Amino acid sequence: MNNINFVRVDNIDDFAIVSADFFSDFLKKNDNPLVILPTGFTPLPFYKEIVKRYKSGEKYLNKFRYLALDEYVGLADDDYRSFSSWLGKEILNPLSIDSKDRIIFNSNADDIDKECKRIDDIVSENVIDLAIVGIGENGHIGFNEPKSSFSSRTRKVLLHEKTIKANAEYWGGIDEVPKEAVTLGLGNLKEAKNTLLLVSGKRKAEILRKSFCAPVSEDIPSSYLQNQPNLTVIGDEDALAEIIF
């Protein structure tokens, strides 16, 4: 296993502050980096803190290019439920990130495989300076669900039944949830120069243990992180409870 920098925080306020400090230091040291940002509940306190600092004068906090991690398939550009709209609302718009600096999937592309190849080519031609990711309870990263290949590239995937159920409320009913999505592959994510995993809450404790204390296996996509260079994990006590330091 590579040397992993586990940072344990006491509460959600500290989670926001420590994550924002990490990001702020990163932007000070890297010129216009390419950064992946995650969706989900976990990063919300971090995004709030970054927006607060930006609005209070820390203008360098928008000096990065954004690369999408994943997206649902078949949504109109302006569908508020798309990940790109969600991230726009929570962080990219408040930071005034220019649309030319947002590398996002066209969810509604006629040929979705071609669209994945377009994004994959961009990822291959650029360096992912920092991949900030969250983790699902089954170890998914983006839409790389269990059994995804560690060398997988950007592609279309079918959503797991569990994921569809988990998202039903957000979509206003199970039948409303898109059945397909696109995601960067684990092979893309492995190429990131730096990775930051954000994790909080008791319900993530077991998968964190499996990710870092069990053998690396495609049954647990997040276990690729064990061999990831320059990995920082920021987690609260509940999430890190089963990690033996």
Write out the catalytic residue numbers: 70, 138, 140, 145
Q: What is the DSSP secondary structure assignment for residue 227, as one 8-state letter? A: G
Taking CA atoms, 27 is separated from 61, 138, 196, in Å, by 7, 31, 14
The first and second tokens of residue 13, run together, are 């306020």
The C-alpha atoms of residue 56 and residue 31 are separated, in whole angstroms, by 22
Q: Which residue, judged by CB position, is nearest to ligand PGA in the bound state? A: 40
- With contacts defined by CB under 6 A, name the span among 35-43, 54-62, 75-83, 212-220 that binds ligand PGA: 35-43
Nearer to ligand PGA, 123 or 197 (CB): 197
Binding ligand PGA by CB under 6 A: which of 15, 23, 36, 42?
42
Q: Does residue 41 belong to the site contacting ligand PGA (CB under 6 A)?
A: yes
* Nearest distance from C-beta of residue 136 to ligand PGA, angstroms: 4
d(CA 59, CA 41) in angstroms, rounded, equals 25
Min dist. Cβ of residue 203 to ligand PGA (A)? 8
Determine, following the binding rule CB under 6 A, whether residue 136 of this chain makes contact with ligand PGA: yes
Query: Which amino acid is it at 243?
Result: I
The answer to whether 168 contacts ligand PGA (rule: CB under 6 A) is: no
Minimum CB distance to ligand PGA, residue 111 (Å): 27
Beta strand pairing status for 34-36 and 70-72? unpaired
CB under 6 A: which stretch of 12-20, 38-46, 53-61, 90-98 binds ligand PGA? 38-46
For ligand PGA, the binding residue among 40, 93, 113, 229 (CB under 6 A) is 40
What is the C-alpha radius of gyration for the chain, rounded to an integer number of angstroms? 17
Size of the site for ligand PGA (CB under 6 A): 6
Sequence-separated (6 or more) residues with CB below 8 Å from residue 130: 26, 30, 33, 34, 35, 36, 192, 193, 194, 195, 196
Q: Is 19 in the site for ligand PGA (CB under 6 A)?
A: no
Rounded least distance, CB 114 to ligand PGA, Å: 26
Alpha-carbon gap, residue 51 to 114, rounded angstroms: 34
Q: Which residues bind ligand PGA (CB under 6 A)?
A: 40-42, 134-136
